[in-house]
Amino acid sequence: MIITFFLLKNQLYDQKLFFKHLYKIGFVLIFCVKILKYLFLI
């Protein structure tokens, strides 16, 4: 029971890290797109 709890906790922690990573990638992509749009407007 305790082992499964720790595994579940670990999995949730990994998912949080994964979503943080996705959020960072998404933020960088949006930033790049904004820069490209800005460059094309000039």
- Residue 1 is classified by DSSP as -
Q: Supply the pLDDT for residue 41.
A: 84
Report the distance separating Cα 18 and Cα 1, nearest Å.
Answer: 26
Q: Supply the pLDDT for residue 13.
A: 84
Q: What are phi and psi of 7, to 5 degrees?
A: -65, -45
**What's the pTM value of the predicted model, to 2 decimals?**
0.52
List C-alpha distances in Å: 12 to 21, 22, 23, 37: 14, 15, 16, 37
Mean pLDDT of residues grouped by 10 in the chain (42 residues)? 78 86 92 92 76
Q: Supply the pLDDT for residue 24.
A: 93
